Protein backbone atom coordinates (compact mmCIF):
# COMPACT_ATOMS: atom_id res chain seq x y z
CA UNK A 1 0.00 0.00 0.00
CA UNK A 2 1.42 3.40 -0.86
CA UNK A 3 1.68 6.11 1.77
CA UNK A 4 -1.58 8.00 1.32
CA UNK A 5 -0.35 11.33 2.67
CA UNK A 6 2.60 11.28 0.28
CA UNK A 7 0.34 10.34 -2.58
CA UNK A 8 -2.08 13.17 -1.88
CA UNK A 9 0.83 15.59 -1.66
CA UNK A 10 1.97 14.28 -5.02
CA UNK A 11 -1.54 14.69 -6.42
CA UNK A 12 -1.58 18.32 -5.29
CA UNK A 13 1.91 18.90 -6.67
CA UNK A 14 1.07 17.28 -10.00
CA UNK A 15 -2.08 19.37 -10.33
CA UNK A 16 -0.25 22.54 -9.45
CA UNK A 17 2.53 21.95 -11.95
CA UNK A 18 0.10 20.74 -14.61
CA UNK A 19 2.25 17.70 -15.31
CA UNK A 20 -0.91 15.81 -16.13
CA UNK A 21 -1.70 17.82 -19.21
CA UNK A 22 -4.81 19.70 -20.14
CA UNK A 23 -6.74 19.52 -16.89
CA UNK A 24 -9.79 21.63 -17.48
CA UNK A 25 -12.35 23.00 -15.09
CA UNK A 26 -15.76 21.49 -15.49
CA UNK A 27 -18.51 23.78 -16.65
CA UNK A 28 -21.22 24.45 -14.12
CA UNK A 29 -24.69 23.67 -15.29
CA UNK A 30 -27.89 25.52 -14.48
CA UNK A 31 -29.24 24.00 -11.26
CA UNK A 32 -32.61 22.33 -11.43
CA UNK A 33 -35.01 23.74 -8.85
CA UNK A 34 -35.13 20.54 -6.84
CA UNK A 35 -31.36 20.19 -6.43
CA UNK A 36 -30.77 19.14 -2.86
CA UNK A 37 -27.36 20.53 -2.06
CA UNK A 38 -27.55 19.14 1.52
CA UNK A 39 -26.50 15.76 0.08
CA UNK A 40 -23.64 17.21 -1.93
CA UNK A 41 -20.81 16.85 -2.68
CA UNK A 42 -20.60 13.08 -2.71
CA UNK A 43 -18.47 10.28 -4.08
CA UNK A 44 -19.56 6.68 -4.55
CA UNK A 45 -17.23 3.95 -5.74
CA UNK A 46 -16.96 0.19 -6.10
CA UNK A 47 -15.40 -2.26 -3.60
CA UNK A 48 -13.13 -1.76 -0.58
CA UNK A 49 -10.59 0.28 -2.53
CA UNK A 50 -13.36 2.85 -3.00
CA UNK A 51 -12.78 4.22 0.49
CA UNK A 52 -9.33 5.58 -0.32
CA UNK A 53 -10.36 6.64 -3.79
CA UNK A 54 -13.32 8.59 -2.36
CA UNK A 55 -11.08 10.22 0.20
CA UNK A 56 -8.53 11.36 -2.39
CA UNK A 57 -11.33 12.59 -4.67
CA UNK A 58 -12.90 14.65 -1.88
CA UNK A 59 -9.49 16.13 -1.09
CA UNK A 60 -9.13 17.25 -4.69
CA UNK A 61 -12.51 19.03 -4.52
CA UNK A 62 -11.60 20.64 -1.19
CA UNK A 63 -8.37 21.88 -2.77
CA UNK A 64 -10.36 23.58 -5.53
CA UNK A 65 -10.12 20.94 -8.25
CA UNK A 66 -13.01 20.25 -10.59
CA UNK A 67 -15.28 17.20 -10.30
CA UNK A 68 -13.43 15.69 -13.29
CA UNK A 69 -10.07 16.23 -11.55
CA UNK A 70 -11.54 14.64 -8.44
CA UNK A 71 -12.71 11.39 -10.04
CA UNK A 72 -9.53 11.09 -12.10
CA UNK A 73 -7.23 11.61 -9.16
CA UNK A 74 -9.37 9.51 -6.81
CA UNK A 75 -8.80 6.42 -8.93
CA UNK A 76 -5.06 7.09 -9.07
CA UNK A 77 -4.91 5.51 -5.60
CA UNK A 78 -5.88 1.95 -6.60
CA UNK A 79 -4.09 2.36 -9.95
CA UNK A 80 -0.81 3.01 -8.10
CA UNK A 81 -1.30 0.33 -5.44
CA UNK A 82 0.87 -2.73 -6.28
CA UNK A 83 -1.17 -4.84 -3.85
CA UNK A 84 -4.39 -4.24 -5.73
CA UNK A 85 -4.91 -7.25 -8.02
CA UNK A 86 -7.53 -5.77 -10.30
CA UNK A 87 -6.43 -2.22 -11.13
CA UNK A 88 -3.20 -0.74 -12.56
CA UNK A 89 0.19 -1.95 -11.33
CA UNK A 90 -0.08 -5.30 -9.56
CA UNK A 91 -3.25 -6.19 -11.48
CA UNK A 92 -3.42 -9.79 -12.73
CA UNK A 93 -2.02 -10.19 -16.24
CA UNK A 94 -3.65 -11.88 -19.21
CA UNK A 95 -2.96 -15.54 -20.03
CA UNK A 96 0.27 -14.55 -21.75
CA UNK A 97 1.59 -12.61 -18.76
CA UNK A 98 0.85 -9.07 -19.97
CA UNK A 99 -0.98 -6.58 -17.76
CA UNK A 100 -3.46 -4.86 -20.08
CA UNK A 101 -5.52 -1.94 -18.83
CA UNK A 102 -8.93 -0.47 -19.64
CA UNK A 103 -10.13 2.93 -18.39
CA UNK A 104 -12.76 5.55 -19.11
CA UNK A 105 -13.75 8.98 -17.85
CA UNK A 106 -16.73 11.21 -18.50
CA UNK A 107 -17.44 14.77 -17.41
CA UNK A 108 -20.43 17.02 -16.88
CA UNK A 109 -20.05 18.58 -20.33
CA UNK A 110 -20.89 15.17 -21.86
CA UNK A 111 -17.34 14.68 -23.11
CA UNK A 112 -15.77 11.26 -22.69
CA UNK A 113 -12.43 9.56 -23.14
CA UNK A 114 -11.18 6.03 -22.84
CA UNK A 115 -8.30 3.68 -23.45
CA UNK A 116 -8.33 -0.08 -23.80
CA UNK A 117 -5.76 -2.86 -24.10
CA UNK A 118 -3.13 -0.38 -22.89
CA UNK A 119 0.11 -1.75 -21.45
CA UNK A 120 2.91 -0.35 -19.29
CA UNK A 121 1.24 2.86 -18.14
CA UNK A 122 0.64 3.36 -14.42
CA UNK A 123 -2.34 5.73 -14.78
CA UNK A 124 -4.51 4.71 -17.74
CA UNK A 125 -7.26 6.98 -16.41
CA UNK A 126 -5.07 10.02 -17.12
CA UNK A 127 -4.46 8.83 -20.68
CA UNK A 128 -8.25 8.49 -21.03
CA UNK A 129 -8.59 12.03 -19.65
CA UNK A 130 -6.12 13.31 -22.21
CA UNK A 131 -7.99 11.54 -25.03
CA UNK A 132 -11.12 13.32 -23.79
CA UNK A 133 -9.52 16.73 -23.37
CA UNK A 134 -7.14 16.97 -26.28
CA UNK A 135 -8.41 14.81 -29.13
CA UNK A 136 -11.64 14.70 -31.14
CA UNK A 137 -11.90 10.98 -30.32
CA UNK A 138 -13.36 8.94 -27.49
CA UNK A 139 -11.26 5.76 -27.43
CA UNK A 140 -7.68 4.81 -28.21
CA UNK A 141 -6.54 1.19 -28.01
CA UNK A 142 -3.42 -0.91 -27.60
CA UNK A 143 -0.23 0.31 -29.25
CA UNK A 144 -1.90 3.50 -30.47
CA UNK A 145 -2.97 4.39 -26.95
CA UNK A 146 0.55 3.65 -25.68
CA UNK A 147 2.11 5.77 -28.42
CA UNK A 148 -0.25 8.64 -27.58
CA UNK A 149 0.62 8.33 -23.88
CA UNK A 150 4.36 8.30 -24.49
CA UNK A 151 4.14 11.27 -26.84
CA UNK A 152 2.40 13.16 -24.05
CA UNK A 153 4.93 12.59 -21.33
CA UNK A 154 3.68 9.38 -19.69
CA UNK A 155 6.44 6.97 -18.72
CA UNK A 156 6.62 3.26 -19.57
CA UNK A 157 6.63 1.05 -16.47
CA UNK A 158 6.58 -2.67 -15.77
CA UNK A 159 3.17 -3.37 -14.22
CA UNK A 160 3.76 -7.11 -13.65
CA UNK A 161 4.99 -7.44 -10.06
CA UNK A 162 6.81 -10.50 -8.68
CA UNK A 163 3.59 -11.45 -6.86
CA UNK A 164 1.39 -11.31 -9.96
CA UNK A 165 3.98 -13.10 -12.07
CA UNK A 166 3.95 -15.91 -9.50
CA UNK A 167 0.12 -15.98 -9.47
CA UNK A 168 0.05 -16.09 -13.26
CA UNK A 169 2.46 -19.04 -13.43
CA UNK A 170 0.46 -20.87 -10.76
CA UNK A 171 -2.76 -20.26 -12.68
CA UNK A 172 -1.23 -21.67 -15.87
CA UNK A 173 -0.08 -24.80 -14.06
CA UNK A 174 -3.41 -25.24 -12.25
CA UNK A 175 -5.39 -24.90 -15.46
CA UNK A 176 -3.05 -27.18 -17.42
CA UNK A 177 -2.00 -24.32 -19.71
CA UNK A 178 -5.52 -24.22 -21.07
CA UNK A 179 -5.63 -21.13 -23.32
CA UNK A 180 -9.23 -20.46 -22.27
CA UNK A 181 -9.73 -18.33 -19.15
CA UNK A 182 -10.77 -20.33 -16.11
CA UNK A 183 -13.89 -18.33 -15.28
CA UNK A 184 -16.28 -21.24 -15.33
CA UNK A 185 -15.25 -22.56 -11.93
CA UNK A 186 -14.22 -19.44 -10.09
CA UNK A 187 -15.89 -16.59 -11.88
CA UNK A 188 -15.76 -14.18 -8.99
CA UNK A 189 -12.13 -14.60 -8.07
CA UNK A 190 -10.34 -12.46 -10.59
CA UNK A 191 -11.93 -9.05 -10.84
CA UNK A 192 -12.79 -5.80 -9.03
CA UNK A 193 -12.73 -2.64 -11.13
CA UNK A 194 -12.75 0.74 -9.45
CA UNK A 195 -15.65 2.81 -10.73
CA UNK A 196 -15.93 6.21 -9.03
CA UNK A 197 -18.83 8.62 -9.48
CA UNK A 198 -18.87 12.13 -8.03
CA UNK A 199 -21.32 15.02 -7.74
CA UNK A 200 -19.98 18.40 -6.66
CA UNK A 201 -21.87 20.94 -4.60
CA UNK A 202 -23.19 22.61 -7.76
CA UNK A 203 -24.70 19.29 -8.87
CA UNK A 204 -22.15 18.66 -11.62
CA UNK A 205 -21.40 14.99 -12.21
CA UNK A 206 -18.36 13.05 -13.40
CA UNK A 207 -17.24 9.43 -13.40
CA UNK A 208 -14.06 7.40 -13.83
CA UNK A 209 -13.58 3.67 -14.24
CA UNK A 210 -10.25 1.82 -14.43
CA UNK A 211 -9.23 -1.83 -14.34
CA UNK A 212 -6.77 -4.51 -15.35
CA UNK A 213 -9.89 -6.45 -16.33
CA UNK A 214 -10.57 -10.10 -15.69
CA UNK A 215 -7.45 -11.83 -14.39
CA UNK A 216 -5.78 -14.29 -16.80
CA UNK A 217 -8.09 -13.22 -19.61
CA UNK A 218 -7.47 -14.10 -23.26
CA UNK A 219 -4.90 -11.82 -24.84
CA UNK A 220 -6.69 -8.92 -26.50
CA UNK A 221 -9.83 -9.24 -24.40
CA UNK A 222 -11.38 -5.85 -23.52
CA UNK A 223 -14.12 -5.57 -20.92
CA UNK A 224 -16.93 -3.15 -20.26
CA UNK A 225 -14.93 -0.58 -18.29
CA UNK A 226 -13.60 1.46 -21.23
CA UNK A 227 -16.87 1.24 -23.19
CA UNK A 228 -18.85 4.43 -22.68
CA UNK A 229 -22.42 3.38 -21.87
CA UNK A 230 -21.38 -0.09 -20.66
CA UNK A 231 -18.89 0.30 -17.80
CA UNK A 232 -19.54 4.00 -17.26
CA UNK A 233 -22.07 6.63 -18.23
CA UNK A 234 -22.65 10.19 -17.07
CA UNK A 235 -25.45 12.53 -18.06
CA UNK A 236 -25.16 15.80 -16.18
CA UNK A 237 -28.91 16.44 -16.40
CA UNK A 238 -29.75 13.11 -14.77
CA UNK A 239 -26.99 11.17 -13.01
CA UNK A 240 -24.31 8.57 -13.55
CA UNK A 241 -23.67 4.83 -13.27
CA UNK A 242 -20.73 2.47 -13.36
CA UNK A 243 -20.34 -1.30 -13.34
CA UNK A 244 -18.04 -4.02 -12.09
CA UNK A 245 -17.87 -7.76 -12.51
CA UNK A 246 -18.07 -9.90 -15.64
CA UNK A 247 -17.94 -7.13 -18.24
CA UNK A 248 -19.41 -9.21 -21.04
CA UNK A 249 -22.80 -9.21 -19.30
CA UNK A 250 -22.71 -5.44 -18.94
CA UNK A 251 -21.65 -4.92 -22.56
CA UNK A 252 -24.50 -7.12 -23.84
CA UNK A 253 -27.03 -4.95 -22.01
CA UNK A 254 -25.25 -1.54 -22.23
CA UNK A 255 -25.67 -1.49 -18.47
CA UNK A 256 -24.55 1.95 -17.29
CA UNK A 257 -26.40 3.76 -20.06
CA UNK A 258 -29.48 1.70 -19.23
CA UNK A 259 -29.28 2.74 -15.57
CA UNK A 260 -29.04 6.44 -16.46
CA UNK A 261 -31.90 6.17 -18.97
CA UNK A 262 -34.06 4.45 -16.36
CA UNK A 263 -33.36 7.35 -14.00
CA UNK A 264 -34.26 9.77 -16.79
CA UNK A 265 -37.60 7.95 -16.99
CA UNK A 266 -38.28 8.48 -13.32
CA UNK A 267 -36.61 5.58 -11.49
CA UNK A 268 -34.62 6.26 -8.36
CA UNK A 269 -30.96 5.19 -8.60
CA UNK A 270 -31.81 2.09 -6.52
CA UNK A 271 -34.75 1.13 -8.76
CA UNK A 272 -32.61 1.74 -11.85
CA UNK A 273 -29.69 -0.50 -10.79
CA UNK A 274 -32.09 -3.27 -9.75
CA UNK A 275 -33.78 -3.13 -13.14
CA UNK A 276 -30.41 -3.24 -14.93
CA UNK A 277 -29.44 -6.38 -12.99
CA UNK A 278 -32.85 -7.88 -13.81
CA UNK A 279 -32.22 -7.11 -17.48
CA UNK A 280 -29.07 -9.24 -17.30
CA UNK A 281 -30.98 -12.01 -15.53
CA UNK A 282 -33.61 -11.99 -18.27
CA UNK A 283 -31.36 -11.56 -21.28
CA UNK A 284 -28.09 -13.37 -20.57
CA UNK A 285 -28.69 -17.14 -20.25
CA UNK A 286 -25.48 -18.03 -18.41
CA UNK A 287 -25.53 -15.01 -16.06
CA UNK A 288 -25.87 -17.16 -12.95
CA UNK A 289 -22.21 -18.15 -13.04
CA UNK A 290 -21.02 -14.59 -12.80
CA UNK A 291 -20.98 -11.51 -10.61
CA UNK A 292 -22.10 -8.06 -11.72
CA UNK A 293 -22.47 -4.96 -9.59
CA UNK A 294 -23.79 -1.51 -10.44
CA UNK A 295 -23.64 1.75 -8.51
CA UNK A 296 -25.54 4.87 -9.48
CA UNK A 297 -26.15 8.43 -8.37
CA UNK A 298 -28.60 11.09 -9.46
CA UNK A 299 -28.22 14.85 -9.56
CA UNK A 300 -29.99 15.20 -6.23
CA UNK A 301 -27.38 13.05 -4.52
CA UNK A 302 -29.54 9.91 -4.13
CA UNK A 303 -27.54 6.73 -4.65
CA UNK A 304 -28.17 3.08 -5.50
CA UNK A 305 -26.24 -0.19 -5.65
CA UNK A 306 -27.19 -3.72 -6.63
CA UNK A 307 -25.50 -6.90 -7.76
CA UNK A 308 -26.19 -10.40 -9.04
CA UNK A 309 -24.48 -12.44 -6.32
CA UNK A 310 -23.82 -11.64 -2.67
CA UNK A 311 -20.39 -10.18 -2.02
CA UNK A 312 -20.31 -6.81 -3.74
CA UNK A 313 -19.68 -3.73 -1.64
CA UNK A 314 -19.17 -0.05 -2.32
CA UNK A 315 -17.89 3.08 -0.62
CA UNK A 316 -20.04 6.16 -0.13
CA UNK A 317 -18.61 9.50 0.96
CA UNK A 318 -21.51 11.80 1.78
CA UNK A 319 -22.35 14.19 4.60
CA UNK A 320 -18.79 14.02 5.99
CA UNK A 321 -18.84 10.22 6.28
CA UNK A 322 -16.90 7.81 4.10
CA UNK A 323 -18.29 4.31 4.66
CA UNK A 324 -18.31 0.85 3.12
CA UNK A 325 -21.74 -0.63 2.46
CA UNK A 326 -22.70 -4.18 1.46
CA UNK A 327 -24.88 -4.17 -1.62
CA UNK A 328 -28.08 -6.17 -1.82
CA UNK A 329 -28.03 -8.88 -4.43
CA UNK A 330 -30.50 -10.56 -6.80
CA UNK A 331 -29.42 -14.07 -5.75
CA UNK A 332 -29.19 -14.60 -1.99
Active site residues: 193
Q: How far apart are CA 45 and CA 209, in angstroms?
A: 9
Q: Which is nearer to ligand ASP, 192 or 200 (CB)?
A: 192
Please pick, from the candidates 108, 223, 229, 269, the single residue that binds ligand ASP as defined by CB under 6 A: 223
Q: Which is nearer to ligand ASP, 23 or 227 (CB)?
A: 227
With the C-alpha atoms ordered 318, 321, 323, 325, is the resulting torsion angle positive or negative? negative
Q: Which of residues 102-161 bind ligand ASP (CB under 6 A)?
A: none
Q: Which is nearer to ligand ASP, 66 or 190 (CB)?
A: 190
**Residue 179 Cβ vs ligand ASP, minimum distance, rounded to whole Å:** 18
Is 224 one of the binding residues for ligand ASP (CB under 6 A)? Answer: yes
Closest CA to 244 of 257, 258, 230, 234: 230
Cα separation values, 244 from 167, 173, 214, 259, Å: 22, 28, 10, 14
Which residues, other chains included, contact 151 with Cβ-Cβ below 8 Å and sequence gap of 6+? none
**Residue 119 Cβ vs ligand ASP, minimum distance, rounded to whole Å:** 15
Which residues, other chains included, contact 87 with Cβ-Cβ below 8 Å and sequence gap of 6+? 49, 75, 78, 79, 81, 192, 193, 194, 210, 211, 212
Is 253 one of the binding residues for ligand ASP (CB under 6 A)? Answer: no
Please pick, from the candidates 128, 214, 258, 273, the single residue that binds ligand ASP as defined by CB under 6 A: 214
The size of the interface with ligand ASP (CB under 6 A), counted in residues, is 14
Q: Which is nearer to ligand ASP, 142 or 150 (CB)?
A: 142
Q: Which is nearer to ligand ASP, 56 or 246 (CB)?
A: 246
Closest CA to 210 of 328, 329, 99: 99
**Residue 231 Cβ vs ligand ASP, minimum distance, rounded to whole Å:** 6
* Structural contact between residues 227 and 193, judged by C-beta atoms closer than 8 angstroms: no
Is 244 one of the binding residues for ligand ASP (CB under 6 A)? Answer: yes
Which span sits near ligand ASP by CB under 6 A: 53-61, 129-137, 209-217, 319-327?
209-217
Cα separation values, 65 from 6, 15, 184, Å: 18, 8, 43
Closest CA to 267 of 26, 276, 59: 276
Question: Which 3 state secondary structure label does DSSP give 232?
Answer: strand
Q: Which of residues 169-208 bind ligand ASP (CB under 6 A)?
A: 191-193
Give the footprint of ligand ASP on this chain (CB under 6 A).
86, 191-193, 211, 213-214, 223-225, 244-247
Amino acid sequence: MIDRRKFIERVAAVSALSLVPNIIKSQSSILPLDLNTDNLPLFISTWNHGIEANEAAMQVLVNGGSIVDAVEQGVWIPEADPNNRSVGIGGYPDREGHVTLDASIMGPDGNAGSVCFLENIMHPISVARLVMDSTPHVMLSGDGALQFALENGFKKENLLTPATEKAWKKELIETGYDPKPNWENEPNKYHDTIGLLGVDSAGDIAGACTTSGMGFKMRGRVGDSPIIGAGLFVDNEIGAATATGMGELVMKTVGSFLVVELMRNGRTPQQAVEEAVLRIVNKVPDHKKYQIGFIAVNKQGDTGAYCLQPGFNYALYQNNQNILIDSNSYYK
